[in-house]
Amino acid sequence: MDMTAVLDDVTMPTYRRWPVEFLSGEGAWLRDTSGDRYLDLMAGIAVASVGHCHPKVTAAISSQAASLVHVSNLFLTRPQAELAGGLADMTGGMKAFFGNSGAEAVECAIKLARRWGGSRRTIVAAEKGFHGRTLGALAATGQLDKQEPFEPLPLGFEHVPYDDIPALEAALDDEVCAVILEVIQGEAGVLVPQSGYLTEVRRLCIEAGVLLILDEIQTGLGRTGRLFAYEHEGVAPDILCLGKALAGGLPMGACLARPEIADAFQLGDHGSTFGGGPVPSSAAIAVLEVIDEEGLCERAKVAGERLMKGLEAIAPHGSVVRGMGAMIGLELPDGGARSVVEACLERKVLVNDIGDKVVRFVPPLVISDDEIDHGLGKLEEVFDAI
Ligand SMILES: Cc1ncc(COP(=O)(O)O)c(C=O)c1O
Ligand 1 atom with the smallest distance to the CA of 137 is: 4
pLDDT tens digits along 104-153: 999 999 999 999 999 999 999 999 999 999 999 999 999 999 999 999 99
In this structure, are residues 56 and 44 in contact, taking their beta carbons and an 8 Å threshold?
no
Atom 4 of ligand 1, residue of closest alpha carbon: 131
Atom 6 of ligand 1, residue of closest alpha carbon: 132
Q: Which of 130, 182, 214 to mutate to test the pocket of ligand 1 (most atoms within 8 A of CB)?
A: 130
Contacts of residue 11, defined as CB under 8 A and 6 or more positions apart, other chains included, come to none
Strands (E), 216-338: 239-242, 253-257, 320-324, 327-331
| Ligand 1 centroid distance, CA of 373 (Å) | 29
Ligand 1 atom with the smallest distance to the CA of 182 is: 1
Ligand 1 atom with the smallest distance to the CA of 244 is: 10
In this structure, are residues 94 and 86 in contact, taking their beta carbons and an 8 Å threshold?
no
Residues with CB under 6 A from ligand 1: 101-103, 106, 130-132, 182, 186-187, 215, 217-218, 243
First to last CA, the chain: 34
Domains and CATH numbers, the chain: 3-53+296-384 (3.90.1150.10), 55-293 (3.40.640.10)
pTM: 0.98
Helix ranges, 118-196 (H)? 135-140, 144-147, 165-171
Catalytically annotated residues: 130, 215, 244
Contacts of residue 386, defined as CB under 8 A and 6 or more positions apart, other chains included, come to 316, 336, 340
- The per-residue pLDDT for 261 is 98
- The per-residue pLDDT for 113 is 99
- The per-residue pLDDT for 53 is 98
**CA-CA distances (angstroms) from residue 120 to 106, 139, 178?**
18, 17, 9
| Ligand 1 centroid distance, CA of 143 (Å) | 14
pLDDT tens digits along 303-343: 999 999 999 999 999 999 999 999 999 999 999 999 999 99
Kindly indicate the confidence band of residue 3, based on its pLDDT and cuts at 50, 70 and 90: confident
Kindly indicate the confidence band of residue 206, based on its pLDDT and cuts at 50, 70 and 90: very high
